[in-house]
Structure 1
């Protein structure tokens, strides 16, 4: 397969062209013939014009690439190596939502041929590729794994907003349904990944490795969040504690914060779901999720307490929230815990204004029913800096004094500032 792809006798198809799929499709297109497929026709039209709908990639990245963007199923019949990079979210009840993944499997099953390869990159629970996706491929195509086609799993390792650790500079895990599949898949990905390839012994191992990467981070952050709640009651600055503890050689620095996005705040639920299906109720993972999901309410209630202490009525208070994307310097608002924080404040009848230099006003309105302002006013009772955008890092205490009224409150959720004015009530996680 690898040699045919390299000679451009065969083609790669990437299914799903979001934050993961588009970068990998363009990287493949440096060396192979690529079909970029997405069911969203309007997104496809943008990419055909060299525009990344996610606003992560520059227009120049599209130049000189051997790629065709399409939403037409028939175009997929020309491909022999399928890469699935669709979203794997959770629903309102924190249950894995496999509809995009199942839909992609049905799509590929309709065009699958003898000798083809199907590789999944979407984050799933261990066993999902072989137990949920494979039967659909076999049923729709009438083909059998091993005798007719091969599958693999290579977990995505895209870090949105990171201009240093780009896709080619991050070590890639690959796995295959048999030894031959593993070698062929490793060669294909090895062509584009300069950081190297790690060959996992089985597909389930590769799936499990991906899901625990973010579960581990989730748990570490949940510990810091719980410590922040405890230290806040003691009147101790959590960041000062972490910096002091960090002087010990084996202390690992993690910081408290709102855990949102489509990885850390989602992936642990996939592992929880699978564990419960097997009759085991995880205690530590579930506890970490509960703490992190509860942080927006904790921060909102803490601000209400501070407003009341300053003789400010929450119903008459005006609060500015700076940043609503799930992390710094990206436009992605999916699973934003800041939106949860805003809604918690609104439940206390607080008047909340929101600004963000990266987020799309239309997407924020569609996803959360919230309105982004073009710029702040100058009469706030409190300001919450919730995302560490570069534009916010350069601000000083004087800026916040200018946009707030008497007895101002500054909540610094990213710990970016030092209070240099006793007239400001400064609080950070």
Structure 2
């Protein structure tokens, strides 16, 4: 398989061309022949014109790539090595939504041939690849794993907005259904991952590794958030405490904040779901999730309390929320906890204006029911910097004074303006 891919006698296909799939597809397309498959025709047309729908990659990233974008099963059938990189979200009850990965498995099952390879990159709970996805492919193809085709799992480690830790510079965990598949999958990924690969002993180990990467971060951030709640009651600035504690060599430098996005705020629920199915109710993990999911309400409550103390009529009060993507300097709004802050503020009948240099207003309205505000005011009762985009960092005390009332509050979720706001009340996590 490896040599035939290298000689372009066989093709590699990437199924799902979002934040994860497109960078993988383009990186491979610099070395071998690639088919980029996505069910969204509008996205396909954008990529055919060298436009990344996710706004992560520049036009130049498409240069010198041997890739064909399609939503055709007939075209997908030409591939022999399939990489599945579709999203794996949770529903409104935080239960894993496997619909995208199940649909992708059905798609692969319809085009699978003897000798083919299938590698999943989508984040799932341990066992999902072999217990949920594999039976679908075997049923639709009439083939058997091991004897007719090979199966593997290699967790994605794409970090949106991060230009330093890219696909090629991050060690890639790989796994296979047997030694032969493990070696082949490792060699294929080594074509594009300069940092090298780590061979996991089994598919389940690789699946579990991905889950705990983000669960660990989630729990550490939850601790910081709980500390910030406690320190807030003591009138101690959390970031000053962390700065002091951080002088010790082995102190882990995590910070409080809103935990959203499609990884840290989602992946732990896949593990706790599987754990529950096995008869064990995860305690520490879910406690961390509860703290992090409650931080939006905590931020809104602190802003509201200040407004109540300084404004006789809350219904006339105005709040500006700066930043509504899930993290800095990206356009991704999936699972943005800023939406929860806005919803919480609106529940108190506050007038909420929203600004963001990266977010799309129509996408926000479709996903969360609000739009970006075209015109900003000069008399806000509160300004909340929820996402410190680079475009905001040039603002100083005078800039915030110009858009707020004299008794207004600047709520700086991530503490980036600490020590810089003097003319208005300042608060941070």
Deviations 1:139-169 (A, max 9, x none): 0000001110000000001010011112111
For residues 343 and 421 of structure 1, the distance between their equivalents in structure 2, rounded to whole angstroms, comes to 27
Structure 1 residue aligned with 2:348 = 348
> Quick check: 2:397–2:423 contact (8 Å CA) kept in 1?
no
Structure 2 residue aligned with 1:115 = 115
SS of the equivalent of 1:426 reads strand
> Quick check: 1:261–1:336 contact (8 Å CA) kept in 2?
yes
The unaligned stretches of length 5 or more in structure 2 are none
Structure 2 residue aligned with 1:181 = 181
> Quick check: 2:228–2:238 contact (8 Å CA) kept in 1?
yes
Aligned residue runs from structure 1 range 375-390, under 5 A: 375-390=375-390
For residues 362 and 371 of structure 1, the distance between their equivalents in structure 2, rounded to whole angstroms, comes to 7
Structure 2 residue aligned with 1:268 = 268
> Quick check: 1:407–1:423 contact (8 Å CA) kept in 2?
no
Structure 2 residue aligned with 1:91 = 91
For residues 104 and 418 of structure 1, the distance between their equivalents in structure 2, rounded to whole angstroms, comes to 47
Structure 1 residue aligned with 2:131 = 131
Q: Shift of residue 108 of structure 1?
A: 0.4
For residues 120 and 159 of structure 2, the distance between their equivalents in structure 1, rounded to whole angstroms, comes to 18
Number of aligned positions between the proteins: 429
Structure 2 residue aligned with 1:154 = 154
Q: Shift of residue 35 of structure 1?
A: 0.3
Structure 2 residue aligned with 1:255 = 255
For residues 172 and 227 of structure 2, the distance between their equivalents in structure 1, rounded to whole angstroms, comes to 34
**2:28 aligned with 1:3:** no
Aligned residue runs from structure 1 range 30-69, under 5 A: 30-69=30-69
For residues 218 and 394 of structure 1, the distance between their equivalents in structure 2, rounded to whole angstroms, comes to 30
Aligned residue runs from structure 1 range 155-174, under 5 A: 155-174=155-174
For residues 18 and 111 of structure 1, the distance between their equivalents in structure 2, rounded to whole angstroms, comes to 21
CA pair 115-283 structure 1, distance change in 2 beyond 3 A? same
CA pair 61-380 structure 1, distance change in 2 beyond 3 A? same
Q: Shift of residue 421 of structure 1?
A: 5.1
Deviations 1:206-229 (A, max 9, x none): 000000000000000000000100
Deviations 1:45-81 (A, max 9, x none): 1101110000100011111100000011111110000
For residues 234 and 30 of structure 2, the distance between their equivalents in structure 1, rounded to whole angstroms, comes to 56
SS of the equivalent of 2:130 reads helix
Higher mean C-alpha displacement, 306-315 vs 75-84: 306-315
Structure 2 residue aligned with 1:24 = 24
CA pair 145-399 structure 1, distance change in 2 beyond 3 A? same
For residues 313 and 195 of structure 2, the distance between their equivalents in structure 1, rounded to whole angstroms, comes to 55
CA pair 421-2 structure 1, distance change in 2 beyond 3 A? closer
**2:298 aligned with 1:298:** yes
CA pair 384-326 structure 1, distance change in 2 beyond 3 A? same
For residues 291 and 315 of structure 1, the distance between their equivalents in structure 2, rounded to whole angstroms, comes to 29
> Quick check: 1:355–1:375 contact (8 Å CA) kept in 2?
no
> Quick check: 1:397–1:419 contact (8 Å CA) kept in 2?
no
CA pair 390-422 structure 1, distance change in 2 beyond 3 A? closer
For residues 387 and 11 of structure 2, the distance between their equivalents in structure 1, rounded to whole angstroms, comes to 41
**2:373 aligned with 1:391:** no
Structure 2 residue aligned with 1:234 = 234
> Quick check: 1:412–1:426 contact (8 Å CA) kept in 2?
yes
CA pair 253-407 structure 1, distance change in 2 beyond 3 A? same
Q: Shift of residue 405 of structure 1?
A: 1.5
CA pair 42-422 structure 1, distance change in 2 beyond 3 A? closer
> TM-score, normalised on structure 2?
0.99
Structure 2 residue aligned with 1:225 = 225
For residues 418 and 223 of structure 2, the distance between their equivalents in structure 1, rounded to whole angstroms, comes to 24
Deviations 1:346-385 (A, max 9, x none): 0000000000000011100110010102352212111000
Q: Shift of residue 388 of structure 1?
A: 1.7
Q: Shift of residue 310 of structure 1?
A: 2.1
> TM-score, normalised on structure 1?
0.99
Aligned residue runs from structure 1 range 272-421, under 5 A: 272-420=272-420
